[in-house]
Structure 1
Amino acid sequence: MGHIAFRRAVGACAGGLLLLVAASTSAVAQPIYPTPDPDPFYAAPADIAEHKPGDVLEMRALSPLMMFPDTDITLIKFRSTNSEGKPIAATTTVLTPHERAVDGPLLSYQTIINGLGTKCAVSRALYTNDPNLMIREAPAYNVVLRRGWSIAMPDHLGPEFAYGAARLGGQITLDGIRAVRSAKQLRLEHSPVTMAGYSGGGMATAWAAALAPVYAPDLTIAGAAAGGVPMNMVKMLEGLGYGAHPVFGLAFAAGIGLEREYPDRFPLSDQLNDKGMAIRNEMANSCTNDLLADGAGRSVLDVARTTSMTQDLSARKVVEENSLELYTDSVPNMPVYEWHSPIDGLVPVDAILNTDHRWCAAGVKLQSAAIPVPDHLTAAVLGLPAVLDWLTARYQGIPAPTNC
């Protein structure tokens, strides 16, 4: 299937899901949440509300890995905030090379996490050979580790793995940086900090950059590099349709994730038929490949209890609230490097450019790069050398360039 068709497929499936939740005014069926991790480390403490965002709740040294030689791995649990303003416990995994300076560079790297289950957590994925769970960016981490940079990788989908809740990812990213900086034993308390990520990880990165002035004004971040960012989820829902699509599983998973984060405003489960509920239940703890397999060849018509649907303003508002192009309360207070394919088949490029232009008009030092390739993932790889150079310059205090 061509890339343009692939994007339309995603939009059609997800758009159908938006209409699916529109037929009900009150949810009867309850959302399905992931099975809690059996390790009590990941659980929220009873007194979590007494802690401030970014407070360290617990730390654990993890076993060293051969793929990251001479590197310590630390898991940090910290207090963050969900989309409804409630306290949550979140986690970040920190790689610290042995050969590094005290207060050396810290990179918060938001990985691509397509998942609904706790086994999709970064700390879990690093310790498996299962291709369904492996972090695809991991081999590249050694490039920056050898430079003496430390890397923090937050589980930016939150403890309920609310896939699709983009704003949540920004908040968790910022609180993760707060937590790493305050963990004195890591010796990163005064480190210069940057952020980076691509696709879903780029979405968490870009949201963190935009939210920083209002959510974490105490943080000074030297720069954010975000690539292939889905800046407007509404536009990705505009291609409505009811046909079967190979990527229906990811769209359905996003609906499940949004319902987890907004149970009263995005009542997906209430509109599922028996088959839809069975697929939902099967997906509840799955990661990328299993999500795709469970939804392969399916459509909204397969899972919907009714096709008599009307627009629901509450459900649509949830999607708008997670669309960065539409967020105008604040803009990044740091330099931004943004890169994308000019003919990306997965992400609406006009939403990226519109957001760039708005940020530029607001005075953000933004450098945008169009990687001359025809697909989403190749742009990620080919853009990395320039991203590393840009991040290095931010650590060195060189004034950020702009092509606004």
Structure 2
Amino acid sequence: MRSLRVLASSIVLLCSFAVGTAAAEPPPTPEFPVPQPGSPGFLPDLQRWIDRIIPSPIQTDATAGDSAAELAALHAAALPSPVGDPMFDQWPDGLADRTPGELIEVRDIRATAGPLALVPLRSASLLKFRTEDALGRPSFATATLLVPATDWTGPGDRPVLVNNLPIDALGRACTPGYTLAHGLTWDTNSTDFFPPTTQLAALRGYAVLVPDHEGPWMAYAEPYTAGHAVLDAIRAVRGSDPAFDTSRFAMTGYSGGAIATHGAVKLIEPYAPELAEVIVGAALGGVPADFEILSRSMNANLASGVFMAATFAIGRERPEILSAMNNLARWVATSPMKDQCIGVFAIPGVLQLPIDIGANIIDPLRSELAVEIYEITRMAGLRSTAPLYIYNGEQEFWIPASGARNLYNEQCSLGANAVYRSVFGEHVIGAVTGYPEAMLWLDERLQGVAARSEC
């Protein structure tokens, strides 16, 4: 009962803040009493109470009574704000006439990326290229290609490691591409540099490709968006520089970066079949491969801020999620929170609020909409043509190892070449204990050693 009282107090505080922002006069609370914790139907009653006392932030005369227009206005208001750099902000003309992976613009960023790379670079290029969003519509993405100053003396063209970093962000300034192009900012993610995957790869003579895999709408955790962006980044490199015509590409990603890697390897065959012989391996750890599992492990606890942000960000590509948000969630989604990095939007997790407080449907994580999103984002039945090295902390409590093991078993049943390693630790410790062997496995793939499946 005490926890319910704390929950109710936290919700009332949030609602009071939203109402104070939304309306000049306080709501007529005597007419709409706060639902009492412990009463039957507490959460559904609370959802209705929230929508009765808080007006929608985007309701106007033009959208009144028109749900489609209201949703379109909400979607537009929930998109990330411009950062003032057309490379990241500007949608190019004629995207539909371009092919996926076609290069749109290149910027030399060695002056800013060089000091951050910590290893001598021959070149550092910010690439902008055509890709597709989660629904297959023309879009664009950016990626950074870092080429070390040392000559490649191995066989064939210089190999490329695709480093899918855990961007885990809602704002464009949080991306590694923005940091490498503009220098360190308060929004720079520490995981851009630790573990030092980019530096270790460059010291081995490999080029490093760092995709901004959330796309221009910053669709954090959406695997189709991320997968398209990663594969089209590889296409952009191969199509624009003959030095990489015969290069081997391998990719790695942990946590949020594993979402991008998971999406990319499953889309090779249906989306970029010409890369099947080019991508020689993929290592992914701390794998959020099944969001239904995460709905049970990350909701109503310290991880709930991250879980809610990911749900909202997927809604930028799949607006049916936005339509299920109540007015409190809509105020948050259109506030400055929409441009924050994980260091900010994770903070509300201390309130340990369930996602129900931001929904306008009953039991949202078990709803028909949720089941549909789980199925889509699981990407079930798609086989990776690239060999896989999958690892997960056995003591994981927010991203349980069962999701990674299920992915391994699925890929084995589909005939993929795969390895699974259970490593010691939860999410942070597991990232450290699983890292050395994953890097050694990737190094062998980039050196041309064939992967041995353990299926």
Q: TM-score category by the smaller chain?
A: 0.7 to 0.9
Partner of 1:205: 261
Mapping for residues 309-328 of structure 1, pairs under 5 Å = 312-324=367-379, 327-328=380-381
Identity %: 27
How far off its partner does 1:252 sit?
Answer: 2.0
Quick one: distance in 2 between partners of 1:387 and 1:240?
A: 26
Q: CA RMSD in A?
A: 2.9
How far off its partner does 1:183 sit?
Answer: 1.9
Quick one: distance in 1 between partners of 2:355 and 2:443?
A: 50
Quick one: distance in 2 between partners of 1:301 and 1:215?
A: 34
How far off its partner does 1:164 sit?
Answer: 2.4
Partner of 2:416: 364
Mapping for residues 2-401 of structure 1, pairs under 5 Å = 28-29=70-71, 30-31=74-75, 32-42=78-88, 43-62=90-109, 63=111, 64-68=113-117, 69-71=119-121, 72-101=123-152, 103-126=157-180, 127-130=182-185, 132-139=187-194, 140=196, 141-184=198-241, 187-219=243-275, 220-238=278-296, 245-263=301-319, 265-268=320-323, 270-273=325-328, 277-278=331-332, 280-293=334-347, 296-297=350-351, 299-300=353-354, 303-304=357-358, 308=362, 312-324=367-379, 327-328=380-381, 330-371=382-423, 373-401=424-452
Unaligned runs of 5+ in 1: 1-15
How far off its partner does 1:367 sit?
Answer: 1.3
Is the CA contact (8 Å cut-off) linking 2:388 and 2:418 kept in structure 1?
yes
Quick one: distance in 2 between partners of 1:296 and 1:280?
A: 21
Greater per-residue helix proportion = 2
How far off its partner does 1:363 sit?
Answer: 2.0
Is the CA contact (8 Å cut-off) linking 2:425 and 2:433 kept in structure 1?
no
Residue deviations 1:100-130 (CA, integer Å, cap 9, x gap)? 3282010111000111111012122344444
Quick one: distance in 2 between partners of 1:234 and 1:295?
A: 19
Is the CA contact (8 Å cut-off) linking 2:258 and 2:286 kept in structure 1?
yes
Quick one: distance in 2 between partners of 1:305 and 1:362?
A: 37
Structure 1 residues 390 and 308: alpha-carbon distance in aligned structure 2, compared to 1, 3 A threshold: closer
Structure 1 residues 267 and 148: alpha-carbon distance in aligned structure 2, compared to 1, 3 A threshold: same
Quick one: distance in 1 between partners of 2:361 and 2:444?
A: 54
Quick one: distance in 1 between partners of 2:330 and 2:403?
A: 31
Structure 1 residues 246 and 351: alpha-carbon distance in aligned structure 2, compared to 1, 3 A threshold: closer
Q: How many equivalent residue pairs? A: 377
How far off its partner does 1:26 sit?
Answer: 5.4
SS in 2 for 1:403: coil
Partner of 2:37: none
How far off its partner does 1:224 sit?
Answer: 0.8
The 10-residue stretch of structure 1 (394-403 or 147-156) with the greater mean CA deviation from structure 2: 394-403
Structure 1 residues 339 and 292: alpha-carbon distance in aligned structure 2, compared to 1, 3 A threshold: same
Quick one: distance in 1 between partners of 2:386 and 2:333?
A: 42
Is the CA contact (8 Å cut-off) linking 1:228 and 1:347 kept in structure 2?
yes
SS in 2 for 1:260: helix
TM-score for the superposition, normalised by structure 2: 0.76
Is the CA contact (8 Å cut-off) linking 1:256 and 1:280 kept in structure 2?
no
Residue deviations 1:19-64 (CA, integer Å, cap 9, x gap)? x8xx9x9563512100123212222211111011111111001124
Structure 1 residues 162 and 224: alpha-carbon distance in aligned structure 2, compared to 1, 3 A threshold: same
Structure 1 residues 52 and 66: alpha-carbon distance in aligned structure 2, compared to 1, 3 A threshold: same
Structure 1 residues 386 and 301: alpha-carbon distance in aligned structure 2, compared to 1, 3 A threshold: closer
TM-score for the superposition, normalised by structure 1: 0.85
Structure 1 residues 65 and 213: alpha-carbon distance in aligned structure 2, compared to 1, 3 A threshold: same
The residue type paired with residue 205 of structure 1 is: T
The residue type paired with residue 293 of structure 2 is: K
Bigger RCO (CA 8 Å, 6+ sep): 1
Quick one: distance in 1 between partners of 2:200 and 2:214?
A: 26
Unaligned runs of 5+ in 2: 1-42, 52-65
Partner of 1:12: none
Structure 1 residues 381 and 49: alpha-carbon distance in aligned structure 2, compared to 1, 3 A threshold: same
How far off its partner does 1:203 sit?
Answer: 1.7
Deviation above 6 Å: which 4+ runs of structure 1?
none
How far off its partner does 1:282 sit?
Answer: 2.7
Is the CA contact (8 Å cut-off) linking 1:183 and 1:189 kept in structure 2?
no
Structure 1 residues 184 and 280: alpha-carbon distance in aligned structure 2, compared to 1, 3 A threshold: same
Structure 1 residues 203 and 240: alpha-carbon distance in aligned structure 2, compared to 1, 3 A threshold: closer
How far off its partner does 1:258 sit?
Answer: 1.6
Quick one: distance in 2 between partners of 1:230 and 1:256?
A: 16
SS in 2 for 1:145: helix
Is the CA contact (8 Å cut-off) linking 1:106 and 1:149 kept in structure 2?
yes
Quick one: distance in 1 between partners of 2:259 and 2:298?
A: 23
How far off its partner does 1:296 sit?
Answer: 4.1
Quick one: distance in 2 between partners of 1:301 and 1:334?
A: 36
Is the CA contact (8 Å cut-off) linking 2:325 and 2:360 kept in structure 1?
no
Structure 1 residues 262 and 34: alpha-carbon distance in aligned structure 2, compared to 1, 3 A threshold: same
